[in-house]
Each structure stands twice: as C-alpha cells, then as structure tokens.
Amino acid sequence: MAKFSVVLLASALAAPPVLAQPPDDPRAPIENALRQPTQFAFDATPLAEAMSFLEDKHRIPVFIDVHALAAAGMRTDQPVMEAADGVTLAEALDQILTPHRLAYFVKNDVLFVTTEAFARQIAEVRVYRVADHVSVDELPEDLMSQAAPDTWYTAEGWGRAFIVPPKSLVVVQNPLVHRQIAQRFSESLRLIYPTSRPTVDVPGLTDVTKHLRIPARMEFIETPLPDVAAFISHKHKVAVSAGDFSNVVITSNLGRIRLGNALTLMLRPRGLTWIVDDGVITAVTHQTADRTLTNATYPIQDLAQGDAIEPLQRIIESAVALVTWSDADRAALQVTEDGALEVRQSFPVHQEISALLSDLRRAAEK
C-alpha cells in the first residue's frame, strides 16, 4: 500500500460549507467560459491569432507565456489546424494545445497558456472539502492512484496531501493534476476557491498590498520600465520602482485585472517578478525575490491553539515551498508566546502562506 503524507490538525474547526466561487472574482468569467460551447475552424492559423480569436469570442483575457515558450524553443506563430463545433471551450483548448505540448489553466486573472513542461513544475496549494459521505481515511490512496499516480512524492514526483480534520484536504500539486482531481473526484471533493496569491495581504505590508487588488489596465508599447513604474505610481497612488532595470522596455496589453496579477504578467516576458521592499513595489529577478527575506507575524489562534499549532506549522513547512526551509540560517518558522507564527521567508513564500491561511479560514466559516 502506498504511503501517504498525513498531518492531523487537531483543532475544533466547525465543518465548513462548500464555498462557491465569489461572483465578483475576475476569474469567475473565465471559469464560466470554459464550460460554454465554442465553435471555430483554424486552417494553419498562427497560435497567437487563434488565442486572440477565442479571447474576443468568449470575452476573456488570454495570456500566452512567451517566456516559457521561448525557453522550450517554441513560437507563438506555430500553425494551428483544428476545428470545433459544440464542444466546450475547455475541451477545445485541449484539442488545440495538446498536440503542441502546450497547456492552459486559470492563473493571475487570465487564461494562462504555457508549455506542458512548465505547467507541471508549478506547485499550487489548494484546500479541498471532503463530502460528508466520503471517508477521509480512504480518500488519499484513491487520490494518488487515480490522479496522475507518478506525480506524487510516494512515486517519482513531489505532490503531497495533508488531512485537516474534520473533512478537509490541503493538496500540493501542479495545475494539470488539480484539474484531474476536480474532474475525477467531483462527487467526493469540492474546492475551496483559492485566494489569489499576488493580491493577498501579507502581515506588516497591508498598506501596500491593499493596492494590489485594484483593477488595472496595462497597455504599453516598447515603454521603458521606469516610465511604466512612474505611470503606475501616479495612477494607483502606490510606490513602484523599476529597480535595477532602467534599460528594460515593456510591451503589454492587459485588460482590467488586479494590479498584483498585472504586474506579474507584465514582467514575466522579461524574466522578472516583483516584491515589496521597504514599502515599495520593486521589479527584481526571481533569484533576488527568493533571496530577499523579511519577517512577518501570522496570528493563527482562530485556526489552531495548544497542541494543534505544531501540526499546522508542519503543514505550512511541508506544503509551502518545501525546499526553502532546509536552510536554517535563512528561512525560519517559530511559534511565539501568544500562539502566533513568526516567519522569516521570501516575499513570494509569504504570499503563499497568507493565501493558505486565508483559504483555511474560509473553509472554517459556518
């Protein structure tokens, strides 16, 4: 029998309801569109044009991850030879993208199109609610045997799952496996709709991060990054810096998506990301983002107290950026005297921790 990574969080959380997708969430129209029928006939149509057609037809934002495509030696003008009539948009996208070793998922308020290889590297932490008629103890083995068995840590992969009593699972998997879980376990599991990582509040930085949820439009053509930063600073009343990248130019055509997501997507083609440093949203490399550590205190008394704190701590260390906790001289997580978590980590990891705790709180709502 395959082993299963289990951590029991022994707290008196009330059984959470199944939480519906918030109707005002920018991701809702995309998820709805994926369930709708579509129609098209592409005859050697460049991939970028095909995605633009579907974007206009279904009125949803589509982002092609040119950074990942270029790294894989792929182009956005590769021809698409496909037709569809009456199938759902989700099925049609698989039909278009799979032959080219591409994949899609909803990320950063857009329909994100990237390579299959990159999609399988992304670790997404999601909270699932187990149906009342399903035994939590029996579900893990079924999950790992039916949803991409080779991607779990018990085999050749890194996927993990953690039981949170009474009836919840925290699952770490790539977005393609999460889609399999949603399809194959629709009668057993319901997703607690995940908090958007780039727009979540991080303790101690809420004066800045509150701006990240504001809808933004990013339309730039070969614009120097310092000018882009100045425009955003003026329009959204928040400090933004180009950092060390004054020579970088930005071309972007992003509709009204939340500012945190817009920044992430706008910088990605240049191999950059952003962090909050001394109250300023600053463009940095991914390596710098991972190396720059800050402290944050997370009140968790509403989620766990006493003996239940250690299991929650273990879930965070195992589910969120697992490999980053091994360097004791850098990352750290400890419990304070009043039962809070004191965490020293990079800004991206702080975002993941904040989002996970937010999802667990929503799961605990009556």
> What CATH number is associated with residue 279?
3.55.50.30
188 and 210 share a domain? no
State pLDDT tens for residues 35-81.
999 999 999 999 999 999 999 999 999 999 999 999 999 999 999 99
Q: From residue 53, how far is each of 30, 37, 41, 44, 76 by CA, in Å? A: 15, 15, 11, 14, 14
State pLDDT tens for residues 229-242.
999 999 999 999 99
Of the candidate ranges 1-10, 33-42, 53-62, 98-107, the one whose mean pLDDT is the lowest: 1-10
Amino acid 141: pLDDT: 86
277 and 222 share a domain? yes
Closest CA to 337 of 302, 309, 303: 309
Amino acid 1: pLDDT: 37
The DSSP H or E segment spanning 302 is: none
Residue 237 lies in a domain: yes
Report the CATH number that the domain containing residue 147 is assigned in CATH: 3.30.70
96 and 142 share a domain? no
- Pick the last residue of a domain from 269, 289, 309: 289
Q: Are 112 and 30 in contact (CB under 8 A)?
A: no
Own/partner long-range contacts of 333-340 (Cβ < 8 Å, ≥24 apart):
335/309, 335/310, 336/297, 338/301, 339/300, 339/301, 339/305, 339/309, 340/297, 340/298, 340/299, 340/300, 340/301
Against a cut of 0.75, is the pTM above it? yes
State pLDDT tens for residues 149-204.
999 998 989 999 998 877 888 999 999 999 999 889 988 898 888 888 888 989 98
Q: Is the pLDDT score of 220 beyond 50?
A: yes
Structural domain boundaries enclosing 262: 206-289
Our count of domains for the chain comes to: 3
